[in-house]
Amino acid sequence: MKTNYCDYIIVGSGIAGLYIALLAIERGSVLILTKGNIDDCNTRYAQGGIAVAMGKDDSPEFHFKDTMAAGDGLCDAEAVRILTDEAADCIADLIKFGVPFDTLDGEITLTREAAHSVPRIMHAGGDATGEHIEVTLSRQVRSTPSKVLENCLASEILVQNGRVTGVRALDCRTGSVEEYHCQFLILATGGAGKLFKYTTNSDVVTGDGIALAFEASAEISDIEFFQFHPTVLRLPGVAPFLISEAVRGEGGILKNVEGQRFMLDYAAEAELATRDIVARSIVYEMKKTHSARVFLDVTHLPPRLITTRFPHIYRFCRDHGLDITKGLIPVAPAAHYLMGGMKVNNWGETNIPGLFAAGETACTGVHGANRLASNSLLESVVFSRRVMQRTEMTVPPRHCEERSDEAISYCLPDREVLPKVSHLNLPNLQSLMWDKVGIIRSGKSLKEAASILATWESLLSQPSDRPSYELNNLVLCARLVTEAALLRKESRGAHFRTDFPQTSPEWQRHIVFRKNVIK
């Protein structure tokens, strides 16, 4: 095997990975590993925008309170304070790098989304915020001395004497394996949205970083909390397409197949309730009306507002035969965002010295049990910058400190291998997770899923190419999500169990998994 060295190795090329690379190149040599091409990530599909308190009637304190409320008792207050206080400086960085945020009369325009008390969402290109950020940052990275290895899948974290020394990676084109060594390894690989049959996530989002970290004995926290976006286009033969939360923020109304508005029956905030409430309400309404969808109605809004504020959504729907200024938009929930991930402290450090995590793959404590809309891109830049600040400190980076909140650590339990289960492939895995570990859960369904997943895991062979590595990673992430959901005997935020429908004070704590370790 060939040996290569860089000061910083970054795995992943979404907003977190690219932003870190742009900051790191001023401090040392940088290598970016990405299993596809540099633009393959979830960032480019983010429509909602970035939340930042910069309006005249807003403040970081208001943003802090909204975020804490959405997190349903599990947000880390110090992390949220960092997020809201440091937001403006990080946005200034993005502007410096050239991200073209939307303006009106020379000022950045701000819109409102669900569970935000005031308008504070910045956009670029209307509903193309993620794409503009991704294109801008990737163009900047390409102009730096950073080395980018595309089609290169990280397959193992290298640890020596308790400290990360690098990563082993597979060249997806040739099948060759190389080792890359570094002082700092930063995982920015995104979430695990491809676990589910219906998802807004890119095909590359297969839980790679979480699986890598777990196998290296990093701690995984809050992974039972998976956010399902309430409004995803549901048209026969059309891949799931996100209908931004901002559409409801602008006045979009949810109606069932009988044409009746229903959200007021479930929440006083109606369409602007938190995502978990809206998603579950839609599921209940679909069951009540024996339908696989509901409708989002914007026909009462000015057509010009729709076409200029949501150009991508308007064009996508029009290209599939639907003029949303005149007709209803068929929607249903889909898996969207993982609140949990690698447990990190307020500097992005994991419990393994030298290993950092940023973006959706990290669990900073900001989102708690339920992410506030448009906080994810902001979290990526705020805590990515703190990763870089930590690596510059004269005191060597240390392991992740325990947060002040309560946490209980577990290892994955041994389960009886079933004599016969369905064949393991990606569609079967996604159907299992959607049906038994989805929006509405129960102890019975979770136990069934846990047994099947443990059996599938026992049948896995040594991976040799990108599809087999991805499937192995997804099976491990599926086990983590399912076992955590089974342990949490309550309903909180995005985690809802029919057998424990109430929130319990006893479970205002975090579930942490670590391989072969029980604390």
Q: What is the arithmetic mean of pLDDT over 5-29? A: 95
pLDDT of residue 48: 63
207-217 confidence digits (pLDDT tens): 999 999 999 99
To the nearest whole percent, how much of the chain has pLDDT over 90? 83
**Interval 360-364 mean pLDDT:** 98
Assign 435 a pLDDT band (cuts: 50, 70, 90). Answer: very high
CATH class (in words) of the domain with range 407-513: mainly alpha
- The confidence score (pLDDT) of residue 126 equals 78
Per-residue DSSP letter, 71: T
Distances (CA, A) of 220 to 165, 485, 507: 20, 13, 17
pTM (2 decimals)? 0.93
pLDDT digits (tens, 9 = 90+) for 313-324: 999 999 999 999
Q: What's the rounded mean pLDDT across residues 86-99?
A: 94
CB 220 within 8 A of CB 458: no
Which position among 120, 248, 275, 466 bears the catalytic label?
275
Tell me the C-alpha distance between 126 and 145, whole Å: 32
Domain 230-333: which CATH number of 3.90.1150.10, 3.40.50.300, 3.90.700.10, 3.90.228.20:
3.90.700.10
442 in helix, strand or coil? coil
Q: 106-115, 292-301, 346-355 — which is least confidently predicted?
A: 106-115
How far is it, in rounded angstroms, from Cα 171 to Cα 125?
35
| Mean predicted confidence (pLDDT) in 338-346 | 97
DSSP states of 77-139 = HHHHHHHHHSHHHHHHHHHHHT----EETTEE--B--TT-SS--EE-STTT-HHHHHHHHHHH
| C-beta contacts of 423-430 below 8 A and 24+ residues apart | 424/456, 424/459, 424/460, 424/471, 424/475, 425/471, 426/194, 426/471, 426/474, 427/197, 429/195, 429/456, 429/471, 429/474, 429/475, 429/478, 430/194, 430/195, 430/196, 430/197
Mean pLDDT for the stretch of residues 453-481: 97
Tokens of 27: 């401090």
| Whether residue 114 has pLDDT greater than 80 | no
Specify the pLDDT at position 519: 41
Whether residue 112 has pLDDT greater than 90 = no
* 393-409 pLDDT, tens digit each: 866 555 444 454 578 88
- In this prediction, residue 373 has a pLDDT band, given cuts at 50, 70 and 90, of confident
Structure tokens at 381: 């830049």
Residue 2 confidence (pLDDT) above 80:
no
What ranges do the domains of the chain cover? 230-333, 407-513
Alpha-carbon distances, residue 397 vs 137, 138, 382, 502 (angstroms): 27, 28, 18, 40
| CB 469 within 8 Å of CB 343 | no
> Does 488 participate in catalysis according to the annotation?
no
Q: From 347, 351, 344, 349, select the one nearest 515 (Cα to Cα).
A: 351
Query: pLDDT tens digits, residue range 157-197?
Result: 999 999 999 999 999 999 999 999 999 999 999 999 999 99
